[in-house]
Amino acid sequence: MPKVPGLIKGLGVTFGEMVKTLKDGPVTVQYPHEKEEPTPRARGVIALHEENCTACMLCSRECPDWCIYIEAHKYLAPPRREGGKPRQKNALDRFDIDFSLCMFCGICVEVCPFEALFWSPEYEFSELKIADLLHDKDRLGQWMQTVPDFEPYEGGSEQKVKKVPR
């Protein structure tokens, strides 16, 4: 077969693409009318499981944008055994993530040693005012309902599949 000049081949590519679009539809999704289904591991928004948080501040310190604000106070919990010492615990007063600063790197989710932060694939949380993008711990807690279960690893993997606390 003789070599087709690149110029003509290029014309063929665009024409073929046009025919394909008219026949099978475009690759784009008409967003407000139809929604794209994100993959289960998509990084949409960060959810907080408040009971697991010990206010250790690791996420806040590792955050490259410093967009996590944590405030906590200490309190004495009753001792576990009779005659024991009362235990010192941290109570979470404030846990805010400013999604106007967040760059969705996921380092906070990675570093959390107590499995308190999770990725949720939800992506529709735009706001009219930029200040409303500051999600407090109640809002972050609500996102927990949208966190999907972890998918099992590939066959033969030694890794244990983590459970999402519900």
Instruction: Please report, as ranges, the residues that interact with other proteins according to CB under 8 A.
Output: 7, 10-11, 13-15, 17-18, 20-22, 26-28, 30
The nearest distance, CB 27 to other proteins, in angstroms, is: 5
Which helix (H) or strand (E) covers residue 139, if one does? helix 137-142
The nearest distance, CB 37 to other proteins, in angstroms, is: 19
- DSSP percent split of the chain into helix, strand, coil, nearest 5: 30, 20, 55
The nearest distance, CB 22 to other proteins, in angstroms, is: 6
Residue with smaller CB distance to other proteins, 18 or 161 = 18
Residue with smaller CB distance to other proteins, 20 or 73 = 20
Residue with smaller CB distance to other proteins, 36 or 51 = 36
The nearest distance, CB 24 to other proteins, in angstroms, is: 9
Which helix (H) or strand (E) covers residue 14, if one does? helix 6-24
Residue with smaller CB distance to other proteins, 23 or 80 = 23
CB atoms within 10 A of CB 68: 22
Residue 72 and residue 149 in contact, taking contact as beta carbons nearer than 8 Å: no
- Dump strand ranges (E) for the chain: 45-48, 68-77, 87-98, 117-120, 134-135
The nearest distance, CB 8 to other proteins, in angstroms, is: 10
Residue burial 51-67, b: 16+ Cβ < 10 Å; e: rest: eebbbbebbbeebeeeb
Residue with smaller CB distance to other proteins, 1 or 22 = 22
